[in-house]
């Protein structure tokens, strides 16, 4: 929810024009006017910078700009959080992430369902999970709600990944209908769910090599921070998902064992035809797989897309990287899962680029 300083449902604002200060001259008009609640437009990140600059000075804001942007992206409009970050530094943002993660972990499914369906239920840190804002499609004062960020989406999906299929279906439908999640977020959430419930993966090569099927069979999912030591992400049969939504190069990685051999794979979920791979992000993933003692022969980097997507290997992948990694394409059929309605399933299956959703203009790079 937006901070209470921005709104109060107990107060209704409406204009009355009067030529006299005497109450009897204008009170009679009240019952003749339809009352309307006004919700102010939420401030932008640029406006927040102006506020923080007034309070803390331009130098302090500039020194913490990346952290402030991360917090804004992950938790929405929160001036106080920004002020605390400027005062306390990066550790405070990590603490907020940990508290939010713990809150989601400890919230029973029914409580989480209530928060998602009714953000005003006031449960604990619900304002960290749900962002409420005035509708841009309505001339009236209508509030809409959405999950704050892809970071929160990942946390929610990971916690309930082991729920029965029916419960997971309810969760994805809430994402689709109530939360207004983008198709990109929705696809990533369903891809994570699909991966941890797959016994094997059928991978398409980018060359003339044959289709490859590899054993998988993961059973758990864990959210971690990019700052965590590489030795903390070594548990086998685990899909690791970074809490940072802007993690470069990959959205998840896994380490598992089959026939006495240790395998490792990085996953990039995308609804586009191409996704540049960040070199630093790929190097960070290499270090985590090194810590797990994954043989170079068993290292995969997999681009996960909707089932009909024609995906191309990103041109910025060097020949040297192709010696270290085996790059493959995994198509995901969300329509067959029966989780989403036909329209949304069709949109995910047919989409080529992010811009196809918005403007119908294809691009080569997402």
User: 135 lies in which domain range?
Assistant: 45-181
Answer with the residue of higher pLDDT: 2 or 290.
290
**Do both 59 and 196 map to the same domain?**
no
Is there a single domain that holds both residue 156 and residue 253?
A: no
Q: Do 153 and 248 sit in the same domain of this protein?
A: no
Q: Are 216 and 111 part of one and the same domain?
A: no
Weakest-pLDDT range from 139-143, 154-158, 253-257? 139-143
Total residues belonging to the chain: 366
Residues 205 and 303 placed together within one structural domain of the fold? yes
Domain boundary among 130, 154, 181: 181
Average confidence (pLDDT) over 259-286 = 85
Do 334 and 199 belong together in one domain? Answer: yes
C-alpha–C-alpha distance, residues 111 and 95, integer Å: 23
Q: Are 301 and 313 in contact (CB under 8 A)?
A: no
344 and 218 together in one domain = yes
H or E stretch covering 2:
none
pLDDT digits (tens, 9 = 90+) for 12-39: 555 555 555 566 655 555 544 444 444 4
**Last residue in a domain, options 151, 181, 211:** 181
- Is residue 212 over pLDDT 50? yes
Q: What mean pLDDT do residues 197-218 have?
A: 87
- Do residue 222 and residue 350 come from a single domain? yes
- Give pLDDT tens digits for 28-67: 555 444 444 444 566 788 989 999 999 999 999 999 999 9
Residue 130 in domain: yes
208 assigned to some structural domain = yes
Count: domains in the chain: 2
**Is 300 a domain residue?**
yes
Placement of tokens 């993966």 in the chain: 201
Whole-model pTM: value is 0.60
Cβ-in-10-Å burial (0-12, 13-18, 19+) of 48 comes to buried
Paired tokens of 357: 């959703």
Q: Does 9 reside within a domain?
A: no
Q: What is the DSSP letter of 254?
A: E
pLDDT at 290 exceeding the cut of 90: yes
Q: Return the DSSP state at 32.
A: T
Confidence of residue 354 (pLDDT cuts 50, 70, 90): very low
Q: Single out the residue in 147, 181, 215 at which a domain terminates.
A: 181
Domain membership of residue 6 (yes or no) is: no
Instruction: Compute the C-alpha angle 311/277/236, nearest 5°.
Output: 95
């Amino acid at each position: 929810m937006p901070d209470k300083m921005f709104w109060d449902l107990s107060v209704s604002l409406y204009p009355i024009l009067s030529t006299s200060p005497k109450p009897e001259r204008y009170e009679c008009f009240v019952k003749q006017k339809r009352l309307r609640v006004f919700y102010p437009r939420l401030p932008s990140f640029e406006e927040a910078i102006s506020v923080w600059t007034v309070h803390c000075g331009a130098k302090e804001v500039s020194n913490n700009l990346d952290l402030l942007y991360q917090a804004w992206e992950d938790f929405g409009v929160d001036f106080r959080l920004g002020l605390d970050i400027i005062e306390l530094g990066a550790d405070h943002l990590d603490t907020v992430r940990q508290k939010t993660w713990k809150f989601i972990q400890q919230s029973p499914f029914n409580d989480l369902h209530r928060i998602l369906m009714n953000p005003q239920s006031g449960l604990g840190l619900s304002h960290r999970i749900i962002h409420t804002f005035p509708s841009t499609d309505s001339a009236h004062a209508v509030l809409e709600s959405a999950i704050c960020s892809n970071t929160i989406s990942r946390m929610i999906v990971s916690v309930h990944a082991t729920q029965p299929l029916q419960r997971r279906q309810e969760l994805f439908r809430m994402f689709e209908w109530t939360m207004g999640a983008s198709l990109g977020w929705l696809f990533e959430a369903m891809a994570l769910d699909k991966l941890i419930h797959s016994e094997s993966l059928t991978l398409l090569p980018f060359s003339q090599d044959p289709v490859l099927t590899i054993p998988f069979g993961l059973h758990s999912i864990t959210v971690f921070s990019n700052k965590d030591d590489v030795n903390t992400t070594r548990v086998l049969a685990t899909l690791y998902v970074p809490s940072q939504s802007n993690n470069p190069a990959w959205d998840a990685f896994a380490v598992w064992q089959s026939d006495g051999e240790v395998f490792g794979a990085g996953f990039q979920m995308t609804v586009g035809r191409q996704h540049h791979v960040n070199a630093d992000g790929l190097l960070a993933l290499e270090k985590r797989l090194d810590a797990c003692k994954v043989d170079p022969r068993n290292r995969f980097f997999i681009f996960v897309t909707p089932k009909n997507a024609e995906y191309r290997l990103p041109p910025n992948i060097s020949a040297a990287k192709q010696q270290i990694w085996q790059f493959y394409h995994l198509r995901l059929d969300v329509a067959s899962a029966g989780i989403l309605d036909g329209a949304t399933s069709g949109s995910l299956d047919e989409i080529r680029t992010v811009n196809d959703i918005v403007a119908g203009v294809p691009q080569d790079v997402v």
